[in-house]
Amino acid sequence: MKKIFSVPFNVSLTEEKFSDFKVFLKKYNDLIFDVYFTFALPPFNEDAVGGISESKSTKGSINGNIDTIMSIQNECSVRVSATFNNIYVSPDINNLNLFIKNFATLYEKGVRSATLPFSSWVFSKEIRKNFPDLFIKNTVIWKVHSAREFWNLAETGFDYINLDRTLLRNQKTLWEIHEARESFYDKTGKRILLSILANESPCSGYCTFREEHQALLSHNQIGVEYFPSYVNVCLYSHMKNLNKNGLKMNFLKMAFISPFEEDFSKIGKVIDVFKLFGRIQPTFFRESLIEIENYANGIGFLTKIKNILLDYGQNNFQENLVKAWRKEIINCNFNCWKCSLCDKIYENLSEKNRKALVEHKIY
């Protein structure tokens, strides 16, 4: 099997849960590209989604123990990848030198993959000079939407490019990026890997509050309570609060990959690695592991969402709506004012399926 999943290291893992995680990684390592983890390393003392602060408040968490994390690579045959994604740190030369000095410890321990937030640092060649074998990813926080943006990052020196999740519903652009990737390979002999976040929930494709949420969490803030009270919305809670605030949202407008095998396979012709969600929330972490297990056993990906849609399509009219929805989301780009398919399906879900949405925390 191809190693197509990038798996989060959840910040709340205890020693006992970590042992179970390693058993899982050993069992499915033929599908797992890497395990990405948060690490507090000056100047990146905080993570863009709050993971470092979260781990500090979780009793018994082993997050931050680099020797423990390296056991994944040493015992499970799965590469680990350090994540430094706080774009609110200044990309000045002093911080670059500070990062190089501090990252040397991780590199000596065997870390050979890292997400870095600044193109200028990569372009400077100082990272390569000091860490010649480092596999460098861009951060998904800088949203890559186009072939031009891909090309810029490829020329800058990245080995692996995280594309913005919204491109799951803009496959015309995905294929343009793929064409640019092939052209870059023809010109340079270097093949850049493409990745996309496949199962983030419960957040809309174009979340109104995404940048604000990341800005707050990048400055040592945890949770929705730090959002202004008049909004009372964040990445993890806005789906159940939006109606109170006069906005409308449903799970079909979340930024997830289509759960149907044929659709998944088509995107897999462009995307090398599907990044999975759950570095912070334990529930979503467990769900991501279940997704890998289901995929390995031939059950499919995002089967809970697929089953809800299949259950909905019990008569010809409803079945045709689901087919139309599958066709539309290929290139709808979340331009919801042009279409009402998500709303039509959502508004007519059975009570059983509505309860399933709440149970699976996708609302």
Residues 205, 254: Cα–Cα separation, whole Å? 5
Q: What is the mean pLDDT of each run of 10 residues along the chain (363 residues)?
A: 93 94 98 96 86 71 92 97 94 98 98 98 98 97 95 98 96 97 98 94 72 70 47 43 54 89 95 94 91 95 91 86 95 93 89 76 60
Round to whole Å and give the CA distance between 240 and 318: 25
192 is a domain residue: yes
Q: What confidence score (pLDDT) does residue 230 get?
A: 37
Residue 135 included in any domain:
yes
SS3 56: helix
Q: How far is CA 350 from the centre of its chain?
A: 30
Note the pTM of the prediction, 2 decimals. Answer: 0.91
DSSP 89-120: S---HHHHHHHHHHHHHHHHHT--EEEES-HH
Residue 313 has what pLDDT?
80
Q: Does 354 map to a domain?
A: no
pLDDT at 234: 44
Q: What is the pLDDT of residue 57?
A: 67
Residue 335 lies in a domain: no
Residue 220 DSSP code: S
The one-letter amino acid at 258: S
- Whichever domain contains 109, its CATH number is 3.20.20.120
pLDDT at residue number 47: 83
Question: Where in the sequence is the domain holding 146, given as residue range(s)?
Answer: 5-298
Give the Cα separation of 78 and 5 in Å (integer): 11
Query: What's the total number of domains in the chain?
Result: 1
What local confidence, expressed as pLDDT, does residue 202 receive?
Answer: 63
Domain-located, residue 349: no
Does a structural domain hold residue 114? yes
What contacts 24+ positions apart, CB below 8 Å, involve 287-294? 287/199, 287/360, 288/7, 288/8, 288/199, 289/7, 289/21, 289/24, 291/199, 292/5, 292/7, 292/28, 292/31, 292/32, 293/24, 293/28
Instruction: Using the structure block, give the residue that is written with the tokens 């089967």.
Output: 303
List Cβ neighbours of 179 (8 Å cut-off, separation of 6 or more).
147
Q: Give domain status of residue 310, yes or no.
A: no
Residue 355 is assigned to a structural domain of this protein: no
Tokens of 284: 């979503």
Looking at residue 132, its pLDDT comes to 98
- Judged by DSSP in three states, 262 sits in helix
